[in-house]
Structure 1
């Protein structure tokens, strides 16, 4: 227990603010620690525990106090009643919850709850019964966001704050937030969960299973000093760079006339270039998603942000790279338009069926296409699970490259393989670019056979597609790459050696010399030493 001189006796029935006074308070009724202040008491207790081998003085986390009150209308009401005689008193449980008035409009003159007579009407002190007033501060919005996700687990239950659905859904599988969340909301949510656990409201100790802290989006920053010395910032769309002879950025100038604190600035006005920094509304270097969507479509905006950098790293905005994402999606759409031609009608009927390409025979070329696409699908599936979306998009680009390069449409199973592989591409792209994938899925008949893209099964790697009848081995002569050979996938060492010696490239560089040694690295290469 603690005592502060001049504050009266310690009372375990009612809280007094001086209980938390770490400057004046000293311990009482604490044996050998009587009379010690906060700092000395902590050191003495730590020393005692260390001497007994029970612990040591160690800072495990420097968590600052959380001031939860805010002087504003929006937020959770603080259930306290202020009485002139009895002081602050908690609202009786039977009168909870305290509900905010719905007709208040913040007008910039301060917290409207202070002036609202309706908010305080009929309020009496729960101790003495005299007229009183409610607390007008509201809680930090983090108080609500620290547990609302558990309310979602059983949102329609009107009897409990957190109902039985939380037992099924919690803990949450994934938490995604910026670095500022890792030191603010994440800590608050963990603290709130542990309080609710101690109260018996939930059964989990931690609210989240996995954490992903995404990187920041960066863009160029442009500014100038006004005549009065203030700094004003300019939108990147109104500015162009000034380069030196080596192509290095040395400054910037306006390419559009801009209204400023000094009046209208004409085209060509010199602007300070501050380099690249985090996108910020205050620095006018953000990108309006709506402008991007109107010009390129939402899918392009989504694809660009996913492809440019891994989610945990910073992303430097580049308008020309957005164009690249747009061109890729045009390639996908144009290839889909190609498959809508009558010559693919029979292949679409087979390959889009629920049993897929089961029963379809594939020639050498079609097998090679399926091998490439299913191999990429295996990697894409893994990358989605580890949230590496940039390599997911890279895998989709490999798929469209393989499809565009496939020329053996008239080979056995050629068209069916193309339709199957394009369906895989659409499903792989759907989480990233849902609009174009949805349209092509319907127009090409996949939806009619397999259902809406939202409900259809995720593509699975076909083990048979990964089986190779023939493999390619690099051919080296004296350790230098000279070509390649193709052999059966199950070819033994003798067969591989014979194929290498019969190869024209080997014979050209061997110049008639007999081989001294042949080294075979299974599945990779064969090296002939002459």
Structure 2
């Protein structure tokens, strides 16, 4: 908890300032101590507590014996409601003490080694990081670990679906001849990359994983005809996805980086440059706005990205949805929220 973290911070700051101020026969500047900086950390992130079920039994002498959750089974009545629990070892009743902070003294901690042995280190890392923001309290549950493994299997299958074309074709950058479908995929990938960059900076690793999942969905959902342009767009998209996921699942991404030929072009993944958002990829010739009639969503209307207010109003009242719901009445007022919606009041 925060009390624990603050004490570590206190000790570290104390010894940093000692080494800064100490004088002696040290190499370097005699007017400075062992270190040349004043603070050991740029900020303090207090991790949230991880909670788990607590089971215990009071002995005849008044002592309390705690049981590991995996060593306890629940008892249920005829309707399926839990009515108690007992030890799997001796079959005797055990008291349920609710959910509390994981503690070695209460035998309710979870050893990640069991997850690593069954699913692999990357699956365990992905599962833990996706479970909750690091500063929030987390109630432990192993129910999502199989979902994390399925995602990594999808990533692997998607990468090797494009393995032959990516490794055979030379890398080029011919974005001028991209079709609308190519541009749509690039726009999705770079828009998600922008959000992932922001989430990494604020240490929201669960939404970074979510961003990677969105990227994979976009790549899998793209229906692009085989062509040199398709190969280049897929090469770029998978390259961005692998680099975004690398801090979370380093082993799988390292293997894919090498197998797909990125290492030959950019060097080892550890030293590869972080992907940069291409602002040109985010530009759109046409945008879609939510169409509301009297405040209720009735559809959408597409307008040129550079359309002014008058053009958006004209496009909204010209839609079939407006004609159907206005029932012959004229528009009394049109409210435009740029980039988001247009509301026609009749």
User: Shorter-chain TM-score: which interval?
Assistant: 0.7 to 0.9
Residue number in structure 2 paired with 1:29 = none
Match 1:226 to one of 47, 59, 66 = 59
Change (3 A) 1:186 1:527: closer
Could you say which residue in structure 2 is the equivalent of 1:278? 101
Contact 2:166 2:260 in 1 (8 A): no
Alpha-carbon distance between aligned partners in 2 of 1:442 and 1:197, rounded to the nearest angstrom? 44
Indicate the SS of the match to 2:145: helix
SS of match in other structure, 1:213: coil
Query: Partners in 1 of 2:274 and 2:341 — Cα distance?
Result: 36
> What 5-or-longer segments of structure 2 have no aligned partner?
24-32
Q: Work out the CA distance in 2 between the residues paired with 1:249 and 1:411.
A: 59
Q: 1:245 to 1:419 in 2, by over 3 A?
A: farther
Change (3 A) 1:522 1:188: closer
Q: Does 1:407 align with 2:189?
A: no
Check the 8 A contact 1:223/1:232 in 2, yes or no.
yes
2: CA distance between counterparts of 1:359 and 1:212? 42
C-alpha separation between the residues in 2 aligned to 1:407 and 1:181? 52
Partner of 2:169: 349
Structure 1 CA distance for aligned equivalents of residues 38 and 264 of structure 2: 46
Deviation readout 1:240-259 (Å, 9 max, x if unpaired): 334578977553234x4x2x
The answer to which of 272-281 and 368-377 deviates more is: 272-281
3-state SS of 1:321 partner: helix
Contact between 2:54 and 2:106, CA under 8 Å: does it hold in 1?
Answer: yes
Aligned mates of 2:286, 2:335 — CA distance in 1: 20
Kept in 2, the 8 Å contact 1:306–1:389? The answer is yes
CA distance in 1, matches of 2:60, 2:189: 62
- SS where residue 42 of structure 2 aligns? strand
Higher relative contact order (CA 8 A, sep 6+): 2
Counterpart CA distance in 2 for 1:242 and 1:374 is: 51
Q: Between Structure 1 and Structure 2, whose CA radius of gyration is higher? A: 1
Other-structure match for 1:388: 204
The structure-2 alpha-carbon separation of the partners of 1:220 and 1:192, relative to structure 1 and needing over 3 Å to count, comes to same
| Candidates 26, 33, 39, aligned match of 1:206 | 39
Whole-angstrom distance in 1 between the partners of 2:193 and 2:136: 24
**Cα offset, 1:515, TM superposition:** 2.6
Equivalent pairs, count = 336
Find the counterpart in structure 2 of residue 188 from structure 1. Answer: 11
**Structure-2 change in CA distance of 1:244 and 1:314 (3 Å):** farther
| Structure 2 counterpart of 1:292, from 115, 118, 121 | 115
Partner in structure 2 of residue 252 of structure 1: 85
Q: Secondary structure in 2 aligned to 1:302?
A: helix
Q: Does the Cα contact within 8 Å between 1:363 and 1:414 map onto a contact in 2?
A: no
Q: Could you list the per-position Cα deviations for residues 219-242 of structure 1 after superposition, in whole angstroms to 9, with x for gaps in the alignment?
A: 111122334443222222222334
Corresponding residue for residue 264 of structure 2: 448
Q: Which residue number in structure 2 is paired with residue 239 of structure 1?
A: 72
1:414/1:469 CA distance change after superposition, 3 Å: farther
Q: For residues 112-191 of structure 1, what are the structure 2 equivalents within 5 Å? A: 179-191=2-14
* Aligned mates of 2:175, 2:96 — CA distance in 1: 63
Are residues 251 and 349 of structure 1, via their aligned partners in 2, closer, same or farther at CA, if it must alter by over 3 Å? Answer: farther
C-alpha deviation, 1:282, in angstroms? 2.2
After superposing the two structures, state which structure 1 stretch, 400-409 or 365-374, moved more.
Answer: 400-409
For residues 114-141 of structure 1, the C-alpha deviation after alignment (integer angstroms, 9 at most, x for no partner) is xxxxxxxxxxxxxxxxxxxxxxxxxxxx
**Structure 1 contact 217–279 (Cα < 8 Å) conserved:** yes
Counterpart contact for 2:166–2:235, Cα < 8 Å: no
1:364 pairs, out of 180, 202, 210, with 180
Match of 2:147 in 1: 324
Check 1:235–1:314 CA distance in 2 against 1; reply closer, same or farther (3 A cut): same
Pairing 1:494–2:310 present: yes
Larger proportion of helix: 2
Quote the offset at 1:214 in angstroms: 1.4
Please name the residue that 1:311 is paired with.
Answer: 134
Question: Take 1:246 and 1:374, find their aligned partners in 2: how far apart are those partners?
Answer: 51
